[in-house]
Amino acid sequence: MKTLHSHVSTSIFIFILSLLYPFHSLAIDTITFSQPLTINQTLVSKDEHFELGFFNPGNNNLYIGIWYKQIQQKTYVWVANRDTPITSSSGNLTIISNGNMVLVNQTGTIVWSTNQPTRAGNTVAQLLDNGNFVLRLENDEDPENYIWQSFDYPTDTLLPEMKLGWDRKSGITRILRSWKTINLDPGTGDYSLMFTVRHFPEILLMRKETLIRRSGPWTGRRFSGVPEIKGRSIMQFDVEDNSDEIYYSFKLVNSSIYSRLVVYSSGVNQRLVWADTTKTWSVYWSFPGNCDHFGECGPSGICTANPAPICSCMTGFHPKNKQAWDLRVGLDGCVRNSSLDCRSDGFKLFKNMKLPETSKAFLDQTINLKKCGEICKTNCSCAAYANMDVTEGGSGCVIWEGDLIDMRQYADSDNGGDDLYVRVGASDLVCIVHEMTNMPLNIYLF
Ligand SMILES: *[C@@H]1O[C@H](CO)[C@@H](O)[C@H](O)[C@H]1NC(C)=O
Ligand SMILES: *[C@@H]1O[C@H](CO)[C@@H](O)[C@H](O)[C@H]1NC(C)=O
Ligand SMILES: *[C@@H]1O[C@H](CO)[C@@H](O)[C@H](O)[C@H]1NC(C)=O
Ligand SMILES: *[C@@H]1O[C@H](CO)[C@@H](O)[C@H](O)[C@H]1NC(C)=O
Ligand SMILES: *[C@@H]1O[C@H](CO)[C@@H](O)[C@H](O)[C@H]1NC(C)=O
Ligand SMILES: *[C@@H]1O[C@H](CO)[C@@H](O)[C@H](O)[C@H]1NC(C)=O
């Protein structure tokens, strides 16, 4: 009798506990066929970095999202059904018999699905500690053999280890797309951040089809015009281009520091870092900053000044539209004072440059800078040249023809500029028109 009594009271005690701590027993990171995720439950990654569950951003719709478990102010890094919200008050995220994970609304209609071909075997969905939500076979010997992963379908945020770019085999293209309305509507908005390779790897910020900003070409270590941080930093950047995939990604040296790259619905593009000491996200880098708008100073114009965006013309050039120029509207750029005669022309070195836009550039990986200069000199249509890869003393050759667009010059080499050799008339070789002011260090970094 005594044992039965204590057994019953223990059961009651556990029952009461489970009422008091309804989430406690749900600290799991996995959804299975028999264990869906319902409205008031969440998944928590193993080391409690990330949490996944239903959320309502304030527009009366329900979404499945991922946020930082340790950060009180909800910061959503991924949304599953951004364009197909649940408009009722309840739903389930569940695995169905064909192995896919689906989100159903109150009446059982599927509003979102991982949408993969049917596989034999049981699948499970798991929230990993890097914020990746993956679908895999329960008994797969290779736990990284994902059937589907949220990292392939980014929302507006690039987390460490996520890849911006594409998978040549699967054809999956990973692009960040802003929310429709900041903090309110996670639906697909107008701004996107994408990785492209026209001639060089570059990151582009677009508003619909319009180019707003480009990063500057990748020169082996970083994007031209994108400085490395002094003191070799908390972050590492990577561009891979191989037969399987091509992408940009970053990682943090210390995984207990959080950082994310976000595109907002206003077109603002920021890298933020979580400062545990202040319990806030600090802006590490932000666009727009000065000189950041694509082609701000027009053809042959160089953006240099800080804090105000002030354009200047290269040596031997003058503003095409002086009136606009004086109003600090530089879009018309600069034109040559005297035309080139090809034979007597020389080259002027501009240091610490964000290299011009490369869509019409030619490149040759096999030749060095000296040879590059010789080729440029003998070809009248060559307007400028530079090294292609700045690592290990420099190699390769880039040749620009026609207008040089979207250049920027930094105060010193710490800011990530490169050397650019620009064709000028013989008479312009001697005079130095380009004066640089002493400007504060600005941190530009993707
Ligand atoms: C979920 O939680 C809310 C508020 O805590 C509650 O009103 C609602 O009934 C719960 N829903 C379910 C299905 O448990
Ligand atoms: C569930 O979704 C379907 C399709 O979007 C919709 O027709 C239906 O009204 C929804 N049910 C509820 C309860 O919102
Ligand atoms: C969600 O799953 C729970 C538990 O399996 C079930 O009781 C409930 O009816 C489901 N709700 C919906 C909307 O499918
Ligand atoms: C990582 O960062 C945390 C928090 O800032 C710090 O406490 C810890 O010492 C760092 N670890 C390493 C290996 O630097
Ligand atoms: C180019 O022309 C502008 C205006 O016509 C003049 O101010 C500038 O000094 C000239 N530069 C050179 C290098 O001759
Ligand atoms: C000059 O260079 C361009 C592109 O690099 C090339 O198309 C053209 O044939 C070259 N002309 C000569 C004379 O080499």
Domain boundaries, given as residue ranges, for the chain: 22-153, 154-288, 338-444
**What residues form DSSP beta bridges with 312?**
302
Q: Domain 22-153 is classified in which CATH homologous superfamily?
A: Bulb-type lectin domain (2.90.10.10)
- Ligand 5: residue whose CA is nearest its atom 3: 318
- Ligand 4: residue whose CA is nearest its atom 13: 254
User: Considering the domain 154-288 in this protein, what is its CATH number?
Assistant: 2.90.10
User: How far is 274 from 252, CA to CA, in rounded Å?
Assistant: 12
> Residue 1's pLDDT is what?
39
C-beta 257 within 6 A of ligand 4: yes
> Which is the closest atom of ligand 5 to the Cα of 337?
1
How many A from CA of 158 to the centre of ligand 6? Answer: 41
Q: Which two tokens stand for residue 353?
A: 């440059």
CB 402 within 8 A of CB 296: no
Tokens 């891979």 locate to 240
User: How far is 84 from 40, CA to CA, in rounded Å?
Assistant: 20
> Residue 384's pLDDT is what?
94
Residue 65's alpha-carbon distances to 50, 62, 94, 131, in angstroms, are 10, 9, 14, 11
How many A from CA of 38 to the centre of ligand 2? Answer: 17
Contacts of residue 422, defined as CB under 8 A and 6 or more positions apart, other chains included, come to: 314, 315, 347, 348, 350, 383, 384, 404
Ligand 3 contacts (CB < 6 A) are 36, 38, 90-92, 104, 106, 108
- Predicted TM-score (pTM) of the model is 0.71
Ligand 2 contacts (CB < 6 A) are 87-88, 105-107, 109, 111
C-beta 426 within 6 A of ligand 5: no
Q: How far is CA 177 from the centre of its chain?
A: 10
> Residue 69's pLDDT is what?
96
Q: Are 22-153 and 154-288 equal in CATH topology?
A: yes
Among the bound ligands, the one closest to the CA of 62: 2
The Cβ of residue 277 has, within 10 Å, a number of other Cβ atoms equal to 7
How many A from CA of 223 to the centre of ligand 2? Answer: 47
The Cβ of residue 369 has, within 10 Å, a number of other Cβ atoms equal to 18
User: How far is 422 from 419, CA to CA, in rounded Å?
Assistant: 10
C-beta 71 within 6 A of ligand 1: no
- Ligand 1: residue whose CA is nearest its atom 3: 40
CA angle 396, 315, 302 (to 5 degrees): 70
> Residue 189's pLDDT is what?
97
> Which is the closest atom of ligand 3 to the Cα of 108?
14
C-beta 318 within 6 A of ligand 5: yes
C-beta 40 within 6 A of ligand 1: yes
pLDDT < 70 regions, the chain:
1-26, 219-234, 277-278, 290, 305-309, 327-328, 390-393, 412-416, 430-446
**Does residue 201 have a cis peptide bond before it, meaning omega lies within 30 degrees of 0?**
no
C-beta 431 within 6 A of ligand 5: yes
C-beta 89 within 6 A of ligand 1: no
C-beta 348 within 6 A of ligand 5: no
How many A from CA of 193 to the centre of ligand 5? Answer: 39
- Listed in sequence order, the DSSP H helices in 177-332 are 322-326
